Amino acid sequence: MIKLVAQLLSRWTTFCSMEYHHTPVLLQEVLAVLQPQEGQRFIDATLGSGGYTMALAKAVGPTGLIVSFDLDPLAIQAVREKLSHENIQNVLLINDNFANLTKDLRKQGLEGPFNGVVLDLGLSSAQLADANRGFSFAQDGPLDMAFGPGSPYLTSEIVNHWTESELRRIIRDYGEEPWAGPLAKAIAKYRRRQPITRTKELVEIVEQVLPPHYVARSRHHPATKLFQALRIATNQELENLTSVLNQSLSLLCPHGRIVAVTFHSLEDRIVKHFFLRESKDCLCPPEFPICQCGHHAQLKIIYRHPLRASEAEKAVNPRARSAKLRAASKL
- Any idea how long the chain is? 331
Exposed, middle or buried: residue 112 (CB in 10 Å: 0-12, 13-18, 19+)?
Answer: middle
Q: 164 with 144: CB under 8 angstroms?
A: no
Q: What is the pLDDT of residue 217?
A: 87
SS3 330: strand
**HSE value, Cβ hemisphere, 13 Å, CA-based, for 219:** 2
SS3 181: helix
Average pLDDT, integer, range 181-205: 97
The average confidence (pLDDT) of the chain is 91
Q: 69 with 110: CB under 8 angstroms?
A: no
Of all residues in the chain, what percent carry a pLDDT higher than 70?
Answer: 89
Sequence-ordered alpha helix ranges (H) in 88-222: 101-107, 125-129, 155-161, 164-173, 180-193, 199-209, 212-217
Residue 16 has pLDDT above 60, yes or no: no
Exposed, middle or buried: residue 280 (CB in 10 Å: 0-12, 13-18, 19+)?
Answer: middle
Greater model confidence, 151 or 47: 47
Of all residues in the chain, what percent carry a pLDDT higher than 90?
Answer: 78
Sorted by where each starts, the structural domains of the chain and their CATH numbers stand as 2-126+237-330 (3.40.50.150), 153-235 (1.10.150.170)
Supply the pTM of this predicted model. 0.90
Q: Any idea which of 127-131, 169-173, 175-179, 313-317 has the lowest mean pLDDT?
A: 127-131
Residue 81 pLDDT grade (very low, low, confident, very high; cuts 50, 70, 90)? very high
Q: 5 with 154: CB under 8 angstroms?
A: no
Residue 207 pLDDT grade (very low, low, confident, very high; cuts 50, 70, 90)? very high
Give the integer Cα–Cα distance in Å for 213 and 2.
45
